[in-house]
Every structure is written in structure tokens, then in C-alpha cells.
Chain A
Amino acid sequence: MRHFIKSLSPRLGEAFFAVLPSIPYASQEKERCPGEAITAQGLSAAARVDGPVAFHDATFEIPCGCRAALIGPNGSGKSTLLRVLAGLTPIRSGEIRVAGETPRLGRSRIAYLAQRPQLAEHFPIKLRRLVQMGTYAHHGWFEECHHGDEAIDRALAQLGLTELAERPVQTLSGGQRQRALIARAVVQGAEILLLDEPYAALDQPSREIIDRFLFESGATFTVLMATHDPADLGRFDRILEMRGGTVLTRHACSGHDHRHA
């Protein structure tokens, strides 16, 4: 009986959604990243709509496949910059292109991990379902996701979460949760990862798994990671430093500071 219901319910679901129109959340563009992953021109933004500007005149670019670190003291605007790039915080002035689009249009290519992810406490959801949410980026309103199972399994394995797939999210540790969110970004097919101090509250095993995934697995992401750890910096191709309310770029290869105005 149970088996019968289980085999029947997806078909009923498909029939239900077949009569509804499917409308994409945002325009879906599918060419690969065009040269520069992120370009910003004279950007200024504030953490809150009525607050003071967090940075001004920020001009920088991050090429595709580049791993960039974002450094600077607390309160220098790192989080605001990442939220602006993710399209979650509006800009005051300037121009910004993410994969050649405005942030709102390029959004299925971007994944953003907040320093403290604001997941609803006690929400009844299993880890696998959380990771599956990444596939929503390729669906729209009134569409159920039946596909992407292999992609989910692969992402779970890459981040060492296969054993935990059926665990409720509320029972996971902070590190396991952070890995689950990265797995979700992988399933989403994001090309650009915006990470806000992902190591801040991580146990060593989680940290190693994420490290290996980001820097050694041959993944082709463009990464922009806010970090406080000077020992980290050697692994990045480029360093963006937030100082005095603006952004300075330092190329790891050329080794000299130069300021874009």
C-alpha cells in the first residue's frame, strides 16, 4: 500500500503541475561566464536603506575563475559589498555587472553564503531537501522539481554529507550546515561564490572539507571570500582590501598595490 502511494504521488504531482503555467523566477541565461565575472565602477552602498554609506567609489574587477579574498577590519563594509554583489542590498550609485548582467538578472549564477545564515529555526526539513532547493534556480513558479537527483548526490558526496542526507537540518552542526549550503550552491550551478567569512564558526573537519572543495578539487568557480585569516591569503589569486571606505586591489602575481579611482 505504502509503495503504491509512493509510486502514485509523483505522477499525481506531475498531472497537477501540468495544468499550471510555468513562469521562470528571473530571465535565465545560460552562456558561460563572459571574461569578467564581476566588474564594479564607482560603487557606493549602505548596509541599511537609511544608514550611512559603507563604502564609496569602489572600482574593481574579478575575472572568471579567479579566487579573490576580501579583507579589511570589522565594519569596513565587506558584508555589505558581498550583499550588493548578490543583489540583496541596493546600490546608492555606480555600476555593477555580474557575469555581464545586473546582479538581479545574473542571479542563478551567483551563490551567496551569509556569515550567519538566517535559516528558520526548528523548520522541519531534511538536509537533502535543503540541497535540492538549489535546483529551483532552474525552475520557476508552479513547477515541481523531479530532476537533478544525480547532481544532488554528487554535491552531497563532494562535501562529505552523503551519510547525513536524511538528517533534519536543525540537528546539524554549524559546519555541516555551512557545507550543506555550499552543496546547494553547487546544485544551483552557480559560477560565482560569494562567501562571507565561511570559516568563522567552523570545526576543523568541516573547514578541511570546504578548503579541499574550493581550492583543490579542480572546481571552476569564481570565488570572492571575506576572511580575517592572514594565513589564508597565500592561496588567493587576488586580494581586495577594504580600507578607508573604499576598495584597493592587490594582485598576488604582480605583488604591488595599485588603486583604482
Chain B
Amino acid sequence: MLDLIVAPLAEPFFLRALLAIALSGAACACLGAYVVLRRMAFVSTALTHSILPGVVGALLLGFSPYLGALFAALLTAAGAAWLASRKGTSEDSAVGVMLSVMFAAGIALMQQANSWRDFAGLLFGSVVSVGTEDLVVIGLTAALVLFGLRALHKELELASFDEEYAALLGARPALMRVVLLGLVALGSVACVRLLGALLTTALFILPAATGVLLGRTLPQVMAWGFGCALLGGVGGLYLSYYLSAVPSGAGIVLCCALPYLAARLFAAPR
């Protein structure tokens, strides 16, 4: 039994993946608490999906895929905000428009590159592709996200809980929303290697949704969320290590769903 746990640790790629999931899990679970509590699941899904054209475009043009991903996510957020500010378009449909346009653009760009096989990792993530330089980027973005959340904790909490009072005090709730969207864009950049454009959103939503069932204060929700992300991430990596039929991204997401299910079934209703 112990052998089964220790054996993968001899592989450098496995260690790097573990570190990557711990870092991005911390960032995404804490950020996810706001995403879930503010009902921003759809917009965060749109941001993470629309990373695709950014990454593919960056690969075609030959610059860093992380910059491309960040640019694409920010473009989606800005586009959706602009569309929603016009009359006659609700925020929901504005986000939907940006999501479909960006994702279709990503598919079109993939066709340009003439190879679908290489891009499976972009869509669903690939555990072996996490290199040392990727770890540096993941660590930096996760640190930036956590720093932002800590520094603005009381403003973000206030704006999420009682927007009107935040406006009354001058704590700029609209600006806080923009900050959160920016942090979600940053956070999704941290996950894109491991989970790909399609599955990244799971790391924002599943652990935080579990945390909301278990925590009684916002820091508790974040802590539970981080625990679940860690549990699911590590479990998923082991699962895909031993069951080659399960890709790592899918394994992580499935294992993150287990604590949610358990909490849903067994947590005392509040």
C-alpha cells in the first residue's frame, strides 16, 4: 500500500504536477469562494474557456501561451462588460456571446495549425507537460491571486455580502467586481497546463461549492475549499497514474467531485 503511494513520487513529472495542483488549487479554491457565493459561475466558465484562442494564437505566433491565455481571458471580461453596459443586452447573454465567439475563434485557429492531436492537452490538460518554468509561472500567478484576495479581503467580502453598503461607504463594489474578474483570469492561467481550457472551471467551482456547504465564515469556506482541491488534485493525479484510461485532468475533476458529493449527502443542513 505504501509502495503504491511512494512509487509515483520518484517521477519528477509527478512531483511537479503535485506542486502545480497544490499552488493552483489554493488560488482557485479561495477565488472560487467568491465565484460561487456571487453566482459568477457562468462568467468564470466563459473566462476559462476563452483561454483557448489565446493559447493557440500564442503558439502560432510564437510567444508565451500564458500571455496569450491572460490576454484572451481579459479580452472576454472586457468584451462582456462592454456588451452588458449597452441597452438591451443582459449580462448573462453578453457573457454567452463572448464565450461562443472566443471558443469558436479558438477552434478555427486550431484548424489553422492543422494538428488536433497536440491540442488535446490544451483542451483537457496534460500532467506530463508541466515543466519547471511552468511551475514558476503557476507559482507567481497563484501568489498574485492570493495576495490580491488577502489585501482586499474586507472590501471583497463587503461588496459580495452587501453591495449597497459598500457603495455607501465608498468601497467601490463595481471596481471590486472588475478586480475579481481579473483575478479569475489570472487564476485560470495558473490551471491551464494541468486542466486545459475546458476543465479549468471545475477547480473554481467544485472545491468552493464544497466549502460553502461546510464553512460558516468566508475564511472557513476558503480553507475547506482548499482542502478539497488538494484532496481531489492529489487523488486525481494518483488515479491517472495507475489507470492510464483516465487522463489527469479528468481524474482531478472527478476526484474533486467526491468531497462535494459527500458534503452534499452528509453535511448537516444549516
Contacts and interface: CB of A to CB of B under 8 A. Distances in A.
Contact of B164 (A25, A114, A126, A143): A114
A126 B270 CA distance: 13
Contacts of B240: none
Given A119-B161, A123-B160, A125-B217, A144 B168 contact: no
B217 to A, nearest CB: 5
B157 A125 contact: yes
A120 interface: yes
B165 interface: yes
Contact of A136 (B150, B171, B172, B220): B171
A241 B163 CA distance: 30
Contacts of B168: 86-88, 107, 110-112
Interface in B166-192: 167-172
A120 B270 contact: no
Contacts of B161: 119-120, 123, 125, 130, 133
B158 A136 contact: yes
A141 interface: yes
A219 interface: no
Contacts of A168: 216, 270
Nearest to A104: B170
A20 interface: yes
A20 B164 CA distance: 26
Contacts of B164: 88, 112, 114, 117-118
Interface string B135-154: 00000000000000011111
B134 interface: no
A122 B162 contact: no
Contact of B169 (A108, A125, A171): A108
A114, A117, A120: residue with the most chain B Cβ atoms closer than 10 Å: A120
Contacts of B165: 133, 184
Nearest to B153: A144
A125 B212 CA distance: 11
B155 interface: yes
A118 B162 contact: yes
A215 interface: no
B217 A126 contact: yes
A53 interface: no
A26, A124, A126, A170: residue with the most chain B Cβ atoms closer than 10 Å: A124
B186 to A, nearest CB: 19
B37 interface: yes
Contacts of B151: 16-17, 20, 142
A129 interface: yes
Contact of B154 (A20, A136, A184): A136
A257 B210 CA distance: 60
A120 B150 CA distance: 21
A108 B171 CA distance: 11
A142 B38 CA distance: 22
Contacts of A112: 164, 168
Nearest to B39: A120
B216 A120 contact: no
Nearest to B167: A88
Contacts of B270: 168, 170-171
Q: Which 3 A-B pairs have the closest CB atoms?
A: A25-B170, A26-B170, A123-B161
Interface of A: 16-17, 20, 25-26, 86-88, 104, 107-108, 110-112, 114, 117-120, 122-126, 129-130, 133, 136-137, 139, 141-145, 168, 170-171, 184
17 contacts: A17-B151, A88-B167, A107-B169, A108-B169, A110-B168, A118-B162, A119-B162, A120-B160, A123-B160, A125-B161, A125-B217, A133-B161, A133-B162, A136-B158, A142-B151, A142-B152, A143-B154
Interface of B: 37-38, 150-155, 157-158, 160-165, 167-172, 212, 215-218, 220-221, 270
Given A107-B169, A136-B169, 9 more contacts: A25-B171, A25-B172, A88-B168, A120-B160, A122-B37, A123-B218, A124-B215, A125-B217, A139-B154
